[in-house]
């Protein structure tokens, strides 16, 4: 369906600029009039812009696109613009063609009387269930601007936490990559050069040398099999983890290791507190909020436990008691929710708990990285040193025999 750009005037005499999808020019003019504006100029728009930053990868939508969009929409509504006018401004200032196309379709449906939340729900890749439920609650309460502002804060917090963890793991990942590359170079390229030297010695090789040479010969001849096997193994594991049973097993296992386990548990607890607190503060009913949290928490074990919690809350129980019975959530979260229910400030208490967990996560990550870096360096040094010494042992033996 063609896209038409238009310049119109609204009831207050203000100029309105935007784009609209229609079958032809006459239909486009009719759509502009249906929106309550008087068309001054309507013409077919050029194809999607290629100039400027494309935004995302090949025009795809990203979490950053959604966060920026949410913050800008909140600011525009706070400045007194209507939803349709705010969407028009966002369309004119969006570089990502995919986001721009979605906003055009959203504006068209809002202009025809559809609720913003119902329209956003038609684009789940950009606007997830959490987003749609909060917008719906904001529409019902008349505080859409405030809800969008809290939603933008939540998205920025989640992005900052993920970026901090990735940044902390960047250097250890680099160390592991460089060390692995060095070992592979020694084993597959350098060590085979010693084979000719060892064969000319005409003597039995030490056991460490024979082991290293065996590994080197195997990798030199069957590297493709090893690489293919690793790829197949990774694909099988990814498929299994995406199944309901595999996801549950993986989430149950990853919280058990001594250091990584508590960190994973804290991250899931922080996400639970942030998400539930944001939903409740936005005015989402408790049962809908718990259902939304199940899909956003990122831990299948906790998500399954929330099924029991929802059933109990539906029957009239407070949240804290069924949460405590599941034993899937930290006692701090459960106890603080109980306090919040007593004071009527569950959302505020959850935000404080989430902030506390965020600080703990940052400290744990820093401690883990400070411990991990020297361990990785030591391990890589031992591996490389062992390979080099294994290659030098026959030469040392030859020198001892010559000295005798």
Q: Is 88 inside a domain boundary? A: no
At residue 382, the 3 state secondary structure works out as helix
Are 176 and 40 part of one and the same domain? no
Q: Is 126 inside a domain boundary? A: no
Q: How many helices (H) and strands (E) in the chain?
A: 16, 3
Residue among 275, 332, 264, 333 nearest 301 (CA): 264
Are 165 and 40 part of one and the same domain? no
Cβ atoms of residues 297 and 265 within 8 Å? no
Q: Is 192 inside a domain boundary? A: yes
The pLDDT-based confidence of 202 (bands split at 50, 70, 90) is: low
Domain boundary among 30, 47, 64: 47
Q: Is 312 inside a domain boundary? A: yes
Report the range of poorest mean pLDDT among 197-211, 213-227, 340-354.
Answer: 197-211
Q: Is 55 inside a domain boundary? A: no
Q: Has residue 155 got a pLDDT over 70?
A: yes
Top-confidence residue, 2 or 103 = 103
The pLDDT-based confidence of 58 (bands split at 50, 70, 90) is: very low
Q: Is 96 inside a domain boundary? A: no
Q: What are the tens digits of pLDDT across the range 264-290?
A: 888 888 888 888 888 888 888 888 888
Domains of the chain: total: 2
What pLDDT is attached to residue 100? 86
- Between CA 354 and CA 296 the distance in angstroms is 15
Are 170 and 33 part of one and the same domain? no
Cβ atoms of residues 198 and 209 within 8 Å? yes
- CATH number, residue 360: 1.20.81.30
Q: Is 67 inside a domain boundary? A: no
Please give the distance of CA 231 from its chain centroid, rounded to a whole number: 23
Q: Has residue 205 got a pLDDT over 70?
A: yes
Q: Has residue 107 got a pLDDT over 80?
A: yes
Domain boundary among 47, 65, 81: 47
Residue among 85, 41, 88, 90 nearest 68 (CA): 90
Q: Range of 36's domain?
A: 1-47
The interaxial angle of helices 300-314 and 286-296, nearest 10 deg, is 170
Q: Is 139 inside a domain boundary? A: no
- Between CA 394 and CA 382 the distance in angstroms is 19
Give long-range contacts, CB 8 A cutoff, 24+ apart: 296-299.
296/128, 296/129, 296/130, 296/271, 297/268, 297/271, 297/272, 298/267, 298/268, 298/271, 299/251, 299/255, 299/264, 299/268
- Between CA 221 and CA 218 the distance in angstroms is 5
- Between CA 400 and CA 224 the distance in angstroms is 40
Kindly give the pairing relationship between strand 15-21 and strand 3-9.
antiparallel
Average pLDDT over residues 17-46: 71
For the chain, give the mean pLDDT. 80
Top-confidence residue, 127 or 60 = 127
What pLDDT is attached to residue 1? 57
At residue 82, the 3 state secondary structure works out as coil
What pLDDT is attached to residue 112? 83
- Between CA 66 and CA 83 the distance in angstroms is 17
Are 297 and 169 part of one and the same domain? yes
Are 201 and 326 part of one and the same domain? yes
Give long-range contacts, CB 8 A cutoff, 24+ apart: 214-220.
215/187, 216/187, 216/188, 216/191, 216/192, 217/192, 219/184, 219/187, 219/188, 220/188, 220/192
Top-confidence residue, 403 or 372 = 372
């Amino acid at each position: 369906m063609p896209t038409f750009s238009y310049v119109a005037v609204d009831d207050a005499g203000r100029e309105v600029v935007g784009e609209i999808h229609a079958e032809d020019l006459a239909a486009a003019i009719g759509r502009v009039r249906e929106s309550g504006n008087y068309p001054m100029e309507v013409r077919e728009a050029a194809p999607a812009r290629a100039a400027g930053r494309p935004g995302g990868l090949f025009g795809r939508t990203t979490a950053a696109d959604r966060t920026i969009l949410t913050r800008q929409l909140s600011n525009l509504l706070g400045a007194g613009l209507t939803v349709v006018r705010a969407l028009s401004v966002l369309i004119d200032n969006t570089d990502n063609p995919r986001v721009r196309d979605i906003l055009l379709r959203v504006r068209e449906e809002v202009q025809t009387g559809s609720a913003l939340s119902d329209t956003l729900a038609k684009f789940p890749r950009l606007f997830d269930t959490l987003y749609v439920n909060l917008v719906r609650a904001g529409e019902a309460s008349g505080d859409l601007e405030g809800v969008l502002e809290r939603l933008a804060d939540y998205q920025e917090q989640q992005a900052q936490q993920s970026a901090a963890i990735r940044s902390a793991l960047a250097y250890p990942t680099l160390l592991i990559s460089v060390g692995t590359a060095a070992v592979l170079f020694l084993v597959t390229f350098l060590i085979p050069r010693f084979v000719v030297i060892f064969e000319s010695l005409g003597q039995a090789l030490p056991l460490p040398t024979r082991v290293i040479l065996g590994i080197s010969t195997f990798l030199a001849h069957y590297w493709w099999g090893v690489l293919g096997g690793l790829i197949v193994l990774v694909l099988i594991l990814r498929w299994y983890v995406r199944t309901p049973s595999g996801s549950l097993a993986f989430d149950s296992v990853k919280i058990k290791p001594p250091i990584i386990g508590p960190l994973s548990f804290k991250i899931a607890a922080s996400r639970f507190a942030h998400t539930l607190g944001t939903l409740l503060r936005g005015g989402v009913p408790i049962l809908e909020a718990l259902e939304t949290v199940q899909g956003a928490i990122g831990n299948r074990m906790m998500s399954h436990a929330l099924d029991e919690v929802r059933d109990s809350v539906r029957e009239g129980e407070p949240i804290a008691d069924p949460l405590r019975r599941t034993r899937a959530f930290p006692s701090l979260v459960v106890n603080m929710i109980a306090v919040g229910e007593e004071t009527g400030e569950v959302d505020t208490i959850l935000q404080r708990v989430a902030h506390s967990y965020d600080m703990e996560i940052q400290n744990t990550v820093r401690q883990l990285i400070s411990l991990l870096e020297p361990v990785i360096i030591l391990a890589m040094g031992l591996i490389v040193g062992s390979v080099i010494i294994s290659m030098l042992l026959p030469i040392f033996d030859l020198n001892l025999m010559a000295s005798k």
